[in-house]
Amino acid sequence: MLPSQFIDAAGFPERWQERDLQEYLAKRLTERGFHTRTEAPANGGRADIVTNWQGGAIVEVKKYLDRDTIYQAVGQLNLYGLNNTHKLVVMGFLTPDARAQPSALKTASMVEQNPRIQVVFVNTEQEWLPGNRIAPSRLVQFLSLPKLSLPNLDLGSFIWWFRVAKANPMLMVIAATLLSVIVSQMKRELNYCQQTNQVWSCLFSQPIN
């Protein structure tokens, strides 16, 4: 999604500022069940967002991320991250300048060689787009447990089953395998009926009282 489309969809003011994006991201994290603080004191500076997302993260927000702003944000985060183990996350729009995009992506890849650092181009990742519905973090964590203990939910809800399948791809594989076995069995029976010229009786036979 282009930054301009994102801005319109998110309802940012015409002359939007970095703080508007910061508040939007903090709100999205809160909606997902995470605790967030904005403009939090951190080692002599003020971190844009401090949250328990990813087990604890400090977020530096920039309007547009190119090579220079990524380096700047990482420098700030390294200061904020002293004496703690929080994830250090840079967030912002991928620069709309097509000529600067390759260097921005390369720079992000380079700084992410440090496993503590993450760069998020919010207009390119589905979970941050305006209007995108995301399962609360508690549900995501629940579905990721190795042993599922079903909650008190309406199991007939299509949306719930869709979320379960999305969070647990193996369920989809198992369901597809079972369906394949059933269809294969039906085909074998139909072929037998065709070979014995008993298609009609096979398909519509009823037990006689």
E strands, 66-201, where?
A: 87-94, 117-121
For residue 138, tell me if it sits in a domain.
no
Q: Which domain holds residue 20?
A: 3-133
Total domains in the chain come to 2
pTM over cut 0.75: no
Lowest mean pLDDT segment, chosen from 79-93, 100-114, 141-155, 177-191? 141-155
pLDDT band at residue 190 using 50, 70 and 90 as cut-offs: low
How do residues 72-102 score in pLDDT, each as one tens digit? 999 999 999 998 999 999 999 999 999 999 9
Q: Are residues 10 and 97 in the same domain?
A: yes
Q: Are residues 60 and 125 in the same domain?
A: yes
Average confidence (pLDDT) over 47-67? 95
Q: Would you say 47 and 59 are in contact if contact means Cβ atoms under 8 Å apart?
A: yes
For residue 148, tell me if it sits in a domain.
no
| 201 pLDDT above the threshold of 80 | no
Average confidence (pLDDT) over 113-118? 96
For residue 139, tell me if it sits in a domain.
no
Q: Are residues 47 and 101 in the same domain?
A: yes
Name the token pair of 135. 């399962």
CA distance linking residue 49 with residue 106, whole number of Å: 25
Q: Are residues 172 and 126 in the same domain?
A: no
Q: Are residues 105 and 190 in the same domain?
A: no
Q: Are residues 124 and 193 in the same domain?
A: no
- Of the three residues 81, 112, 133, the one that is the final residue of a domain is 133
Q: Are residues 122 and 196 in the same domain?
A: no
Average confidence (pLDDT) over 136-155? 42
CATH code for the domain in which residue 43 is found: 3.40.1350.10
How does the average pLDDT of the chain come out, rounded? 79
Which residues lie below 8 Å from residue 58, measured CB to CB, with a gap of 6+?
42, 47, 49, 50, 77, 80, 81, 84, 86, 87, 88, 89
For residue 144, tell me if it sits in a domain.
no
- Of the three residues 112, 133, 154, the one that is the final residue of a domain is 133
For residue 200, tell me if it sits in a domain.
yes
Q: Are residues 24 and 93 in the same domain?
A: yes
